[in-house]
Structure 1
C-alpha cells in the first residue's frame, strides 16, 4: 500500500516539474516576443516619422508621392519580415513548452 502511495507522490512531483518547466519556457518565449514587438514598434514609429518628414519636405507633388510610395513599400516589406520572424518565435516557443511533456506517451505505454 505504501509503495503505491510513494509512486503516486513521485508521479505528481514529476508532473509538477514538467508543468513548471513548460511554464518557464512559455514565460521566456512571451518575454522574447514582447521585446521583439517593442523593438519593431520603435523602428516602425521612427520610419513613419521620417517618411512624414520626407513627404512634407518634398518640393513637388511628384517627389511627395515618390516618398510616400517608398515608405509604403518598405513598411510592407518590414511588416512581412517581422510577422515571419514572430511566427518562427511562436513556433519555437510552442516546441520548447511541449518539450517537457514529450516523454509522457512512451512512459504511458509501459
Structure 2
C-alpha cells in the first residue's frame, strides 16, 4: 500500500506545483499589464502569456496524466493477478 500512497503524494505534489507556478505566471502577467503604456504592448504581452500558459498546461497535463496512469496500474495490479482479462494494458 505504501507504493500507492507514494504515487498519490507525487500526483498531489505535481498538482500543487502546477497551481503555484500558474499563479506566479499570472501574477507576473498582471504586473506587466499594469505598467504598459501602449495598446500594442498589451496585445504582445497577452499573446506571449497565453502561449506560455497553454504550453505549460499541456506539458503538465501530460505529465500528471502519465502519473495517474502509473498510479492506477500499480493500484489495480494485485486484482489483475490471475485474471488476465482485467490486466491494464499500455
* Range of TM-score over shorter length: 0.7 to 0.9
**1:30 pairs with 2:5:** no
Where structure 1 has 5 or more consecutive residues not aligned to the other structure, the ranges are 1-20
Asked which structure has the greater CA Rg, the reply is 1
Residue from 75, 83, 89 that aligns with 1:97: 75
Mapping of 1:11-22 within 5 angstroms?
Answer: 21=1
How far has the Cα of 1:28 moved from its partner? 2.0
**1:56, 1:64 within 8 Å by CA — same for their partners in 2?**
no
**1:48 pairs with 2:50:** no
**Structure 1 or 2: larger helix share?**
1
Where structure 2 has 5 or more consecutive residues not aligned to the other structure, the ranges are 85-90
**1:72 pairs with 2:57:** no
**1:26, 1:93 within 8 Å by CA — same for their partners in 2?**
yes
* Partner in structure 2 of residue 12 of structure 1: none
How far has the Cα of 1:76 moved from its partner? 0.8
Cα distance in 1 for partners of 2:82, 2:46 equals 55
RMSD between superposed Cα atoms in Å: 1.6
* Partner in structure 1 of residue 87 of structure 2: none
